[in-house]
Structure 1
Amino acid sequence: MHALGTHLLVELRDCKPGCISNVKQVTDAMVGAAKAANATIVDVSFHEFNPFGISGMVIIAESHLSIHTWPEYNYAAVDIFTCGDVINPGDAARYLIERFESSNPSIVEIKRGLISTKDVKLPHKVYEHDYECVT
């Protein structure tokens, strides 16, 4: 079985107060995490809630990084989903753990798109001429 992608569920508990409450700092950290993993950034979108909390996403050519913060609990939930084996999502996770100074992080890894291919590795990208949709 081969997987189309790797999905990391990153729990960032006990973050340093203030590290996850400023939208510019959170945006910069998430973009930095994508760069730390050598991902190709396509788009960035973040929103700051009132009175607190931030949600945002960094779209990468290899999939995405997303975050939801609860500054009142010093907690952030991060998803890092990558396709292929060109980048290492663990590098992005480690970057965020350090950047948000989480003293109690955890990471769960899930393989997504498990497909039996008879020991043939799946390509990261399938080109249009390789795929025909029959309607």
Structure 2
Amino acid sequence: MAYGAPGTPDFEVLDEQDVAASEEQSGAAANEEERLDFFIKRDGVEFAGTHLIIDLWDVCRIDDPEHIEKSLCDAAVRAGATILSSDFHVFTPNNGVSGVIVLSESHISIHTWPERNFAAVDVFMCGAAKPHKTIEALQEAFSPSRIGLTEHRRGLSV
């Protein structure tokens, strides 16, 4: 992909099939306790979730809060996340926007600088959500000429 992010790795997340197998082995009560934290297991490492720090340069429509909210909601849906709420604020005089989409899996937030054609986006997701799938939605919504991407694993349990 154009943004240079590593390919989306396969995730090993406790899903319904894992739950059924676990219930057979250890009983339903023990399994429910394991499911409560929605930690991810990937490449033999357990962690809370993936946090993407995304810088969008030479972007368009970053002074339009309705477009931004719709675009971030679309990104969340594409990632398989569950939207709980949203809140956005427009700053004057430059019409910069700060906002957040609160997810069951965590959040997507944005801060825009229209006078610099720059937007800073944070995507943090746990569980079965696929945060890298938000990037294509951001590209379509804001048409950046350049994307900076940093990935962090939050809550490493090592």
CA distance in structure 2 between the partners assigned to 1:27 and 1:96 by the alignment: 11
Pair member with larger Rg: 2
Please give the per-residue CA displacement for 1:2-26, whole angstroms capped at 9, x wherever unaligned. Answer: 111100000001113xx11111111
Q: What amino acid is the match of 1:65? A: I
Q: Deviations over 1:71-126 (max 9, x none)?
A: 11110000000012x1110111221122100010111100000003xxxxxxxxxx
Q: 2:87: which partner in 1?
A: 45
Structure 2 unaligned spans of 5+: 1-44
Q: Which structure has the highest helix share of the two?
A: 2
Match of 1:80 among 123, 135, 144: 123
TM-score (norm 1): 0.80
1:10: which partner in 2? 54
- Return the alpha-carbon distance in structure 1 between the equivalents of residues 72 and 53 of structure 2: 14
SS at match of 1:114: coil
Q: What CA distance in whole angstroms lies between the structure 2 residues aligned with 1:12 and 1:97?
A: 9
Select which of 102, 112, 122 maps to 1:69: 112
Aligned length: 113
Structure 1 CA distance for aligned equivalents of residues 115 and 68 of structure 2: 15
The amino acid that maps onto 1:55 is S
The structure whose residues are more often strand, as a share, is 1
Identity of aligned residues (%): 42
Alignment of 1:1-135 (within 5 A): 1-16=45-60, 19-51=61-93, 52-84=95-127, 86-116=128-158
| Higher RCO (CA < 8 A, seq sep 6+) | 1
Which one-letter code corresponds to 1:21 in the other structure?
A: D
* AA partner of residue 78 (structure 1): V
